[in-house]
Structure 1
Amino acid sequence: MKKEFNHKAVMKLLFIIYMCVLVYIVFFAEAMGRTPQDGYVYNLTPLKEIKRFMRYIWDNDALGSAARLNIFGNIIAFIPFGIYLPYTSESKLGFISTFLYTFSLSLTIELVQLITKVGSCDVDDIILNTLGGVIGYILWYIYTKLRKK
């Protein structure tokens, strides 16, 4: 008797591993500046840090590589979430639900960083993380449409 490969179970396992890695990077990776701060570090002005980082990149500033890592790292970190969430959910979450779950997870992460004084609480991170989740969902959606053909 031949056993059938369970793709859904593998994807759920990968999702759990992804979430563990994400939690580690966001809260514990000292190389990413995840050490307790003496005071609160936060930005509540939308696009403030994104604009500053884009200037570093456009001006070929010495901080350009750190700026690229921040912007693209925040986006890329949440692309898997936007893919895994609709794929592993029983109800096949749509765009709005995936958007809201991604936004909520990112908001929760930023609030925990603020409360624990680990890293910084940045509204721009929420924007970039949510964009990453949306990109992930779009990639998943395109994949499902191409697969049906």
Structure 2
Amino acid sequence: MLRKSNFKLSRFIIRTVFIYYILLVISLTWFSIPLITRWSAHIHSFTELNQQDNFIPFLSISNTLFHSVGLEVILKQLGGNILLFLPFGFLLPIVSEKYHTPIKMLIASILFSLCIELGQAVISFIVGITYRSTDIDDVILNTLGGMIGFCLIKLPFRLLSAKKK
């Protein structure tokens, strides 16, 4: 049985982990941005900065699946976006009582992913190069990852409550 002080400590730890997770996602998706024009010219020659923004659902996903060079590219592009949001779907219902229903979790995942993508668009505009492309398929994959994470946290509880009945 958890004492009240242990419960508060575990809740504090989970919230701290969630905050660090959010900061990690932001750092992975927004930072490492070429802020100096001189550097951005060099970065152009070494990376794929001429990426195109995509607002057509499933276009990038189908291009990755059917035109990529190998499984590593598919896993990195598609699996990376899904894995990035798994902790979001797993941790948010623990951190906040408001997100215990699938529809609320779906909306939260979409909104967080849209914030990430819109932030990338704004940063690209400010920097003057498409450093990170804005892609609706990233929103789709991130949302899928959030919902998978949500199912991973909710499914065991549903199975346990079904066994008790």
TM-score band, normalised by the shorter chain? 0.7 to 0.9
Q: Look at both structures and tell me which one has the larger radius of gyration over its CA atoms.
A: 2
81, 84, 95: which one aligns with 1:74: 81
CA distance in 1, matches of 2:6, 2:55: 50
| RMSD of aligned Cα (Å) | 2.5
Q: Which SS does the other structure have where 1:121 is aligned? A: coil
Matches within 5 A, 1:1-149: 4=6, 6-29=9-32, 41-56=52-67, 61-62=69-70, 64-117=71-124, 118-148=131-161, 149=163
CA distance in 1, matches of 2:149, 2:81: 13
- Cα distance per residue 1:20-57 (max 9 Å; x no partner): 11111111247xxxx79888841011101100111145
What is the Cα deviation at residue 128 of structure 1? 0.1
Q: Which runs of 5+ in 2 are unaligned?
A: 34-39, 125-130
What is the Cα deviation at residue 9 of structure 1? 1.6
Count of residues in Structure 1 that have an aligned counterpart in Structure 2: 140
Q: Give the % identical residues.
A: 30
CA distance in 2, matches of 1:28, 1:12: 23
Q: CA contact under 8 A between 1:40 and 1:114: conserved in structure 2?
A: no
Bigger share in helix: 2
Q: TM-score, normalised by structure 2?
A: 0.74
Q: CA contact under 8 A between 1:41 and 1:114: conserved in structure 2?
A: no
Q: Which SS does the other structure have where 2:6 is aligned? A: coil
Q: TM-score, normalised by structure 1?
A: 0.81
Look up the equivalent residue of 1:10 and give its one-letter code: I
What is the Cα deviation at residue 4 of structure 1? 2.6
